[in-house]
Structures are given as C-alpha cells and as structure tokens.
Structure 1
C-alpha cells in the first residue's frame, strides 16, 4: 500500500485514503470528513478501483429518471435513546467515537470548554444506527482534559416525533472514567463509554467529581496491625479487581485519587498512621505521593515502611493528633 491508496478498516465501515506512512507497520489515513488517525497495517484492506466504480454505479442507479433522489418515507422512531461517546485506547492515544444507535439522524457539534473561551473540535452529521471517529486525544495529563460540550439536533425524513435539542457537558476524571470500561456500541471495540442521552445526572460534571471521591479502594489486608493503623494497596489489580493493563497516565491519576481519599478518611477517623503500598516500579507513584505529603499540614512525618516486608515499595505516614 502507498500514499494515496484508498483503504477500508477491517473492524468498521469507514473508508479513507493513506496520507502518511508512519512506519513499516502503521499508516495515517484520512476519512471522508477530513479527520485523520493512525491505523495498523493489519487493520486495513485496499479498496480496488473496480469495487469503487461498482458501488458508484449502484448509487447512481438508485436515482430517479429525472435525476432526483427517491426518498422513502420513514416510520416513527422506535429507538429514541442511544447516543454514546466512546474512547478506544491505542497506546497513548484515544480514538474518540460518536455513536448514534437511535432511529434519528443527528446534526451535532463538539466544543472544548477552555478558560474564558470555546474551542470547536468537530461538527457533522451522523446517520441513524451509525458511528463515526471524530477525534484523537492523548492519554497524557488525563485529569487536565478540558470539559467537552456535546450539542445534537434530531431529524427524520417525513413525519416524525420531534425531540428537543440535546446538550451535555462532560468532565473527565480518572476515578469515574475507569469504571466505564466495556464494548463501544456498534463498533465491537473495547474502550470507555459514556451515554450522552441517559439521565443527565450520570454525566453531570459535579456528579462525576463526587463519584471520584466515592471510589472504593480494596479492603485492607487482614494483618496484625496495631489499633489506629491501616494499610491500603495501590496496585491497580487490587483497586479495580481486573488484570487488564491500564495506560500509565490513567493508572497514576486513579491511584492518586484513591490515595487522597484514603488519607482524608484516615485523618477524619483520627487514625495514628496509615501505610500505602505503592510498589517499586519506576518510582513515579512513590515520588508523587512523597511530594504531596511534604506539603500537607496534618502529617507528623512519613518514611519507607517496614523494608523487610516491602523494600522501598510502601510508605508509612504518621498523622498528627
């Protein structure tokens, strides 16, 4: 395959043109609406000129002899809900999908709400029962993503039940985001999913922040701890109960959210001390925890905990009375 070749995604219905060869295994393709994104060589297939001409003729044959398209009157909508936002992880990049699983056509726009201004990200049209890749987002600095506003208008040809315009603002926080993993509707891709037309409370920014604060850490191990002490294991498999590998930036944000929640709970409960088991790894989590502890007023001191048990993989925090 070469630059300029037309290709189709094997796991979707999108077609595009190769605009750049990133490396021997990866191409950058541009789809019809001008959006471009990287794909693996193994995930695309070349569209032959013969096939393209065949479908072009079929499309022309559906027009009337007068040259005008013939529209079939559609029935009233059956599926009135089912608008989703999907994030498909690909290394350190998320491919963002807009999914319309309703019987309405959608005219939509997506804005990023920045301080004092609005950045337009995408606008377009989405057929009923269809999906579309609309953007790419870096997983770096996840918790610093700006809020995104989604505005949709519903439409059907012929007589249909009118619906008010949908407008939602979504905030992204790791602790809430991690619990939304599943299959992205209509794409068969694994990722993280928000339903935009569900109960607004489920995606309201304040509610998402509250869900972050209520994220539950794994129960502390049953050890012979003295009264007033507590252990929290910050390894991702302990916190989520899943063994799937999570992108480093997402894991760090989630672990730090649990760390702060558990530390606040220990202070509020009047504990004498608390131990966080963070592991050795590359030392980033340990360093970030120590940096935050050094700025807190309720901390008497902190140190590496029981090196015979944890090595340098845990931190003991003594709390002020």
Structure 2
C-alpha cells in the first residue's frame, strides 16, 4: 500500500486515497470534499480495478500512474567548507565542515614561503569526515595577525559504501583576504554557529579568495591591515551570504513544464518532460540540503498523479528528509508538497 492508492474501509462505506502514513500502524486517507481521517491499516483494503473505475465516475481523484524505472538516491553532493568561528573578539577556531552525504578522508595543511625560495608545506590534521559532520582543527588564529595567516591546503577523497560514481579528488587552497573574508559571515552548516565560511567544493570561486598562487620570497608584501579595523569589521553584523557558492534554491519550486520551459516544449515527449521535472526536483532538493534550508515546497500539480507519486516515493527514502506533507491548500490547492529537511 502506497501514498496515492485508492482504498475503502472494511466496516464502513467511505472510500478515499492514501495521503500519509502515521505512527502505530495508522494511515491517513483523504475522502470526498477533502476531509482526511486516520484509519487503522487493518481496516483498509485496496480498491479493485473495477471499483476504482466506478469510484472515478463519482469522485475527483485522478488515476495514479506508477513510474517503473527505479530512481537513484538523491544525494547532497556539495557542501565542504572551511569555517572560522569567533571565540571572542580576538580569536577564531578553524573547523572543517562536511555537509554532504559522502565520507571525506582528508588532509589539512598550511603553505608558506620557505627560506631560500620555494614553498613549504606543513601538515596539520588528517582523518575521515563522516557525512553531515564537522571537525575542529585548532584555535591558533587571531585577528591581530590576520595578514600573517597562511595559505590553507585541503586534500580530500569522496567515499560511499556500495555502488557510487567515481569523483575526482578534492584539492583546494585558500588564502583569506580581508576584502572578501568578512563578507561571508553566516550560520555554519552542521555546527549551527555564526562564523566566516568559504566553500571548498564549489565549481566557481574567486581567484583572489580561492586557489592563490604559492607565495614567493620576491613577491611584494600585501597591504598592512590594522587590527582595530579587523576587530570593528568582525563585530559588525553581517547579513550578506551571497558569497557561499551553493546555489540556494527558492523556497517554492514550480515543476510545471510551462515554468521550466517558458519558450515551449520544443517537441519533447512525455518521458522527456517527466525526466526534466524529476531532475529539477532532485537538484533543488540537493541544493536546499547543502545550503542548510529547513524546508522547501514543490508545486507538482494534480494531473495524472504520476509526478506526485514519484516525488513522494523518493522523499520517503531520502535520509535527509525529516517528513513531507501536502502544502497549504489555501495557497497551492492539492498540487504541492512541503518537505521538511533534517
């Protein structure tokens, strides 16, 4: 028995559609006029095809179609960060954050100019970051010596048990720049504390902030930054989180083909349109999880019910979905699902 199946009560005349599974063996069904009632699972029986045909003649429920291809799990593939969390008005602790569904074996070190030329690397930490976890590195960084902070180097691999696509190793360098560093104050994912954040696995990063060239002895020294200016900047409230590179989706995502293809369907068949809708759904959900959103709503419409059924099927198996339910009917009618993220 799945969400969207037509059922009837054994000891009553009511018929309806399964809308939600409740604890303790209870199932919520939606009967005529939009009323929902909880029923013990043992008191329900699936409606036969003949009964379903008769039911459709007297109700507004659309026939449910089952999408046969099995869909891969929706994964949060992006969301590895370096985070500097203020301890007080003078000091920071450095954290490595993994807000993805992958395990990340990592090495963290510092690069600095070596005596006599070249670059010297100093290893700091190594280990394995589990999915949705963080690791405190050290608390040796003060704003008074901000201009002396080293270039941080993070090397990582991607691991998931079982079948998974092969991903290129993560190798990123980060040199904090005062002009951009203090614009990134936000709530740190996983840690859920305010801090200064830079994403390591983003596809597009400013070159001045990410992957700088190794320091050389004959390079001109950077402009001196006064500690009092850094202190004032750190204590200044920040609301600009635009520098975080995960594309934060809208809180409401419209999956209607008219919204996804405003210039027309261009000869795409029903299978192509359904794939486009599911791909858009998966990408929006993945980015919502990676960017730390608490919930997101998908408008899928009523139609034949195949899209709604497939979305609910995938949401029911997703480890990062706390629960999902029909969105406000006053605003979206019967064609939207609200997803609450863990």
Same fold (TM over 0.5): no
Q: Which has the higher contact order (CA 8 A, sep 6+)?
A: 2
TM-score (norm 2): 0.38
TM-score (norm 1): 0.41
